[in-house]
Structure 1
């Protein structure tokens, strides 16, 4: 097959797909991967051909401003604004090539529109929960409820009119259901009884593709419990929180690895205790293999990786779907969740120590780990994709 993979400019959306790309290439398929330049090396290392963004799309990403700050409407407004800019580029790529399948990110791939614009099979790649409906009550989707909602509907009508598509609903855009759908977790963790096989293929996280080279000397941990702290790769400007972590765990009988991202420098944190390793980037999977607790922003990708290794989590959600992920964690008793704004060194230490001692949560995480490992079957997913396309060809 000749496959076009469409994605965005975010680690949490691209990293989960890399294992699938690797498996597709290994099976002899050609994969062209459309994403932003910082991820070009990652996708080419998997054997794909990289297709970069135009200057027009790059300018949109740099200059975009939402009209308001309502969490759901802001996400929808960005998705639709992004689709409006990216669809002409995708159409141009499709017109210049002969693809057998399009796999597109459910948030930033325009899948709900592409289904109406091409006869090529469209598969949606769900980098967060696959959902059958929006997480809002119906009254909050009625035109006139909120100015930002009305702007979303205006953009949606504009796109549908431009491409002569029967007007779609915001729910159709948000749920982004493709002919087939790939989900990077287990059916159990995803939840939503309406999201089921065979149209949804549950992969689990792409651990194989994330075997980072590690220069860490993990022997420094010794017999101590290992606490891993990371707020992801995007929203990392939390110098006061990192200082709080140092105050909470300094010189205790734990070892702490803390990733602080590129928006904070280690030099801003003062004296670093001997039981800490603090860097802008750390090999997350290598650490999660050894971690006893993960203090996390509850990003979907990070949570799935932690569950793969059975690590209990202390969730401090910051934006977007992180709140839904944290809620799912706590409802399944796989960790705890607190408000970052209410944290202090004492609360952070006490809550973490309680979590380290919680046998029930640890047992549930280990059960979830088995579920993740049993689900992680990229070979089967690739075969399903092949069978689907071959079936369509035979039917013509």
Structure 2
């Protein structure tokens, strides 16, 4: 069995996937631990730190050891501002925030490696210092991506732009192409400047838009749920969604109140950008009709919403057991975060995306490209647009047909088992795990054994 060090940014959205993989690997007999920027607090003290402040506590809740790195000074201010950003500016701001302090974090990781002596490291793709520390210590480093959105493709617009996925993306996105070039160059320069501090050679350009681990890149999605990409390496694998092993996420829910005779709509805006009571009110107003039943996971907007009268057909909660709820509803209205999007597709449910920023705008474009959902921009959100989007989805059988195909393809994967087996393979063999020529990009329960035997 292997000793595995997981590294993650202080973000619940980024944590969920790695925590599920770590829990699976612990169950498989491996010794797992986490290293994250943050402050160790008790449960009662995490409420005032925002969603990211709960990261160390949630890891501990899963009976997994966690060590914290005192956050780089730039993170404190940036993390406060981030929830107020939107659109492409949020993408740029978040990536700038995550790419600061690479030298500082590399030194902290090196100390943790000296103390813990891991056989392998598994890092979220935005924790760039992990790969520097891994190269310095010659320890394998697996990088995890939550979707294929960062990678390039012939019809794929700039990352985070939210432009349509189409043949005209290059022409329509000239402004974003220029901005992205500046961002990519800035990140490359920042990353290579850190590498020079440790006497490492510069890496090839375009780190943001390509799978950058030389050992193994795991994408927690399936090829059928992504736009075609043209720069994937042979050591990049799509393994399917990774969720279901986390503790501390379970909660009670009155499933008996769900009405079989109603069209059930579930609305949620995720864990970071959810304090938007006006958005939830527009959704409730649009669906205040006898044919609908609405379940709302309001998050930070719960208090504001609960203090006013809500329609009789609405079930209002601060949070819900989303994975268990999704199979029981008919349609989802969400923000388009990677985790929620993957979970909704796996459940075979149509998704109306109201994006705020970051990958959410790209996921909105992805839903329309795949023909499994609709997009409504926040500024254009009103009762008529919500009703129109739902009407189109209910009236056109093609939405459910495409969703059924994606659900079927997803059901053939077991992301957690594939992640555990592939990471263990790299730790044991201490060499990159390559897909042979012609081998499927998506790893299924049927072909995983064949890959492991190669």
- For Structure 1 versus Structure 2, the TM-score category normalised by the shorter chain is 0.7 to 0.9
Corresponding residue SS for 1:216: coil
Q: How far off its partner does 1:10 sit?
A: 1.6
Asked whether the equivalents of residues 315 and 338 of structure 1 are also in contact (C-alpha less than 8 Å), the reply is yes
Corresponding residue SS for 1:52: strand
Asked whether the equivalents of residues 141 and 149 of structure 1 are also in contact (C-alpha less than 8 Å), the reply is no
Asked whether the equivalents of residues 287 and 387 of structure 2 are also in contact (C-alpha less than 8 Å), the reply is yes
2:145 paired residue number: 126
Return the alpha-carbon distance in structure 1 between the equivalents of residues 321 and 179 of structure 2: 46
- From 42, 48, 51, give the equivalent of 2:64: 48
Q: How far off its partner does 1:335 sit?
A: 0.8
Corresponding residue SS for 1:353: helix
Asked whether the equivalents of residues 211 and 233 of structure 2 are also in contact (C-alpha less than 8 Å), the reply is no
2:253 paired residue number: 216
Corresponding residue SS for 2:328: coil
- Tell me the alpha carbon deviations over residues 94-136 of structure 1, each in whole angstroms, 9 at most, x when there is no partner: 1222110000000124344334322000100112326444954
Return the alpha-carbon distance in structure 2 between the equivalents of residues 338 and 111 of structure 1: 37
Closer, same or farther in 2 for the Cα pair 1:285/1:210, shift >3 Å? farther
Closer, same or farther in 2 for the Cα pair 1:382/1:130, shift >3 Å? farther
Return the alpha-carbon distance in structure 1 between the equivalents of residues 343 and 151 of structure 2: 24
Which runs of structure 2 are paired with 1:142-291 in the superposition (5 Å)? Answer: 152=187, 155-168=190-203, 171-178=206-213, 179-194=215-230, 199-209=235-245, 212-223=249-260, 224-263=262-301, 265-267=303-305, 270-291=308-329
Corresponding residue SS for 1:185: coil
Q: How far off its partner does 1:268 sit?
A: 6.1
User: TM-score with structure 1 length normalisation?
Assistant: 0.87
Return the alpha-carbon distance in structure 1 between the equivalents of residues 281 and 327 of structure 2: 25
Return the alpha-carbon distance in structure 2 between the equivalents of residues 142 and 274 of structure 1: 49
- Tell me the alpha carbon deviations over residues 219-253 of structure 1, each in whole angstroms, 9 at most, x when there is no partner: 22222111000111101122211111121112422
Corresponding residue SS for 1:372: helix
Asked whether the equivalents of residues 73 and 152 of structure 1 are also in contact (C-alpha less than 8 Å), the reply is no
Q: How far off its partner does 1:218 sit?
A: 1.8
Q: Does 1:30 align with 2:39?
A: no
Q: How far off its partner does 1:140 sit?
A: 7.7
Q: How far off its partner does 1:301 sit?
A: 0.8
- Tell me the alpha carbon deviations over residues 34-80 of structure 1, each in whole angstroms, 9 at most, x when there is no partner: 234512343234442111232x43x43222379x9745543442232
Q: Does 1:21 align with 2:44?
A: no
Closer, same or farther in 2 for the Cα pair 1:84/1:278, shift >3 Å? farther
Asked whether the equivalents of residues 111 and 176 of structure 1 are also in contact (C-alpha less than 8 Å), the reply is no
Which runs of structure 2 are paired with 1:333-352 in the superposition (5 Å)? Answer: 333-352=371-390
Closer, same or farther in 2 for the Cα pair 1:128/1:82, shift >3 Å? farther
Corresponding residue SS for 1:388: helix
Q: Does 1:104 align with 2:123?
A: yes
Deviates more, 1:307-316 or 1:357-366: 357-366
Consecutive unaligned residues in structure 1, runs of 5 or more: none
Relative contact order higher in (CA < 8 Å, ≥ 6 apart): 2
User: TM-score with structure 2 length normalisation?
Assistant: 0.77
Asked whether the equivalents of residues 43 and 49 of structure 1 are also in contact (C-alpha less than 8 Å), the reply is yes
Corresponding residue SS for 1:389: helix
Asked whether the equivalents of residues 91 and 359 of structure 2 are also in contact (C-alpha less than 8 Å), the reply is no
Closer, same or farther in 2 for the Cα pair 1:151/1:231, shift >3 Å? same
Return the alpha-carbon distance in structure 1 between the equivalents of residues 141 and 201 of structure 2: 18
Closer, same or farther in 2 for the Cα pair 1:195/1:377, shift >3 Å? farther
Closer, same or farther in 2 for the Cα pair 1:267/1:306, shift >3 Å? closer
Q: Does 1:310 align with 2:370?
A: no
Corresponding residue SS for 1:208: coil
Deviates more, 1:352-361 or 1:234-243: 352-361
Asked whether the equivalents of residues 182 and 201 of structure 1 are also in contact (C-alpha less than 8 Å), the reply is yes
Asked whether the equivalents of residues 330 and 350 of structure 2 are also in contact (C-alpha less than 8 Å), the reply is yes
Q: Does 1:321 align with 2:356?
A: no
Asked whether the equivalents of residues 251 and 274 of structure 1 are also in contact (C-alpha less than 8 Å), the reply is no
Corresponding residue SS for 2:266: strand
Corresponding residue SS for 1:354: helix
Closer, same or farther in 2 for the Cα pair 1:237/1:21, shift >3 Å? same
Deviates more, 1:225-234 or 1:255-264: 255-264
Asked whether the equivalents of residues 8 and 35 of structure 2 are also in contact (C-alpha less than 8 Å), the reply is yes
Return the alpha-carbon distance in structure 1 between the equivalents of residues 107 and 194 of structure 2: 11
